[in-house]
Amino acid sequence: MPTEGPYHAVIMRWLDALAPELEYRGLVGDRRALVRRVPSAFRHRLPSDTWQRLCMPTGVRITFRTTSPAIALRAEWLSSPGDRAGAIDIYLNGQFYSQIGSAGVGAVEDVVYEGPERDQVVELYMPTHAEIRFAGVGITEGSDIALPNAGVRPTVVFYGDSITHGSVTARPGTTYPARVARALGVDFVNLGVGGSARGEAAMAQIIGSLKADVIVLAYGVNSFGSSFEEPRAFDTTYDQFLGIVRAAQPSVPIVVLTPLFHTQEFEETTLGGAKLEEYRRVIREVVYRRQSFGDFNLVLVDGHSVIGPGQGDLLADHVHPNDQGFAAISEILGAQIGRSLSLL
């Protein structure tokens, strides 16, 4: 807790985590102070590693409008983010302003804004790689606070692996789903699951249950990388996953992104000897097959057209993009999402 500064001379009014003036975005289900992306009811329907990652609230935002010249936050970190993006990003009127975080497990209370008294929309991006319990917002006594009144905006649902989750991103607000959403002025739900995302039926059912105007599917690397399933089995499970989503969302555009360039993809194989390109081929064939059966709201984006061979400078390691890579993904994928939204 801070010990000096004008903030401490101001009488603060605290609103708890579930105050009606706070709007939660990017959650599946109702608002909850323990900011997990999906409700606990799904815990036993998902693999343990998938559930563990979904407890990390990447993509979840808490937003409000206020005139307060001082804004403070309370939150409790329930797990340590290590060297990942484990802080809360604070955006004011759509622009990054500051962060509040914790080096490890524990509660934090601190001022995040001190400045002119003006009407502004505050958006708090929850950490990508830490479990968190949000505890409330403090404003100066007498200041106004209300819901942001952003109106109804299209919603894009993203499902993918650690790249969608936001591994190696600098901040919660710089994941590619967050970048796309700000650029297009849309809402979003991030169901990226680092180290998992193998097309579990329960995840397809969750996606199918959501209000979505566009759905993005960007997985396949972990099915390859863990030797979880060889290409023939992957063909079956990928088609089944798409089938579950499409049955629940019969007319929503689905954008399918094949795996991005992987600097070791030409050397690495599964136990059966398959390379990553064979998984891309399976995804292409499943999409083409469904398009030939009349699914014209299914769009394929080649991952190599986003980050391909010769673009290793866009990667932080042999798999994950750096910030320039996330910017490239958001630009190219965002353009396709924008085109898909124009069909609505």
Asked if the structure places residue 311 within a domain, the reply is yes
Whether 250 and 293 have beta carbons less than 8 Å apart is answered as no
Clarify whether residues 96 and 26 are in a common domain: yes
Clarify whether residues 132 and 163 are in a common domain: no
Secondary-structure breakdown of the chain: helix, strand, coil percentages, each rounded to the nearest 5? 30, 25, 45
What residues does 148 pair with on adjacent strands? Answer: none
Clarify whether residues 106 and 64 are in a common domain: yes
Instruction: Collect all residues with Cβ–Cβ distance below 8 Å to 298 and sequence separation of at least 6.
Output: 242, 246, 253, 254, 256, 287, 290, 291
Provide the residue type at 234 as one letter.
F
Write out the chain's pLDDT in tens, 344 residues.
343 444 455 678 999 999 999 999 999 999 999 999 999 999 999 999 999 999 999 999 999 999 999 999 999 999 987 766 789 999 999 999 999 998 889 999 999 999 999 999 999 999 999 999 999 999 999 999 999 987 789 999 999 999 999 998 989 999 999 999 999 999 999 999 998 899 999 999 999 999 999 999 999 999 887 656 889 999 999 999 999 999 999 999 999 999 999 988 877 888 888 999 999 999 999 999 999 999 999 999 999 999 999 999 999 998 999 999 999 999 999 999 999 998 55
Please identify, among 146, 180, 198, the residue that sits at the C-terminal boundary of a domain.
146
Clarify whether residues 225 and 290 are in a common domain: yes
Instruction: Collect all residues with Cβ–Cβ distance below 8 Å to 51 and sequence separation of at least 6.
Output: 42, 43
Asked if the structure places residue 275 within a domain, the reply is yes
Pairing of strands 95-100, 155-160: unpaired
Asked if the structure places residue 62 within a domain, the reply is yes
Clarify whether residues 212 and 277 are in a common domain: yes
Where does the chain have alpha helices with state H?
Answer: 48-54, 162-165, 176-184, 201-209, 221-225, 231-248, 276-292, 323-341
Residue closest to 186 by CA, chosen among 218, 150, 220 = 150
DSSP state for residue 37 in the 8-state scheme: S
Pairing of strands 106-114, 95-100: unpaired
| CATH for 59 | 2.60.120.260
Indicate the pTM of the whole model. 0.94
Tell me, what's the pLDDT at 226?
66
Rounded distance, CA 273 to CA 69, Å? 61
Clarify whether residues 168 and 133 are in a common domain: no
Whether 104 and 131 have beta carbons less than 8 Å apart is answered as no
Where does 9-102 have alpha helices with state H?
Answer: 48-54
Clarify whether residues 219 and 313 are in a common domain: yes
Asked if the structure places residue 1 within a domain, the reply is no
For tokens 């036993």, the residue is: 44
Clarify whether residues 214 and 331 are in a common domain: yes
Its domain, for residue 161, covers: 155-341
Please identify, among 89, 123, 146, the residue that sits at the C-terminal boundary of a domain.
146
Clarify whether residues 176 and 141 are in a common domain: no
Clarify whether residues 262 and 326 are in a common domain: yes
Pairing of strands 254-257, 298-301: parallel
Tell me, what's the pLDDT at 3?
36
Clarify whether residues 311 and 216 are in a common domain: yes
- CA torsion angle 300 316 237 227 (round to 10): 140
> CA 270: distance to chain centroid?
28
- Beta-carbon neighbour count of residue 334 at 10 Å? 20
For 306: left if phi > 0, alpha if psi spans -120 to 50, otherwise beta; the answer is: alpha
| CATH for 266 | 3.40.50.1110
For tokens 């609505």, the residue is: 344
Clarify whether residues 12 and 119 are in a common domain: yes
Whether 56 and 131 have beta carbons less than 8 Å apart is answered as yes
Tell me, what's the pLDDT at 65?
98
Asked if the structure places residue 122 within a domain, the reply is yes
Provide the domain count of the chain. Answer: 2
| Helix, strand or coil, per DSSP, at residue 147 | coil
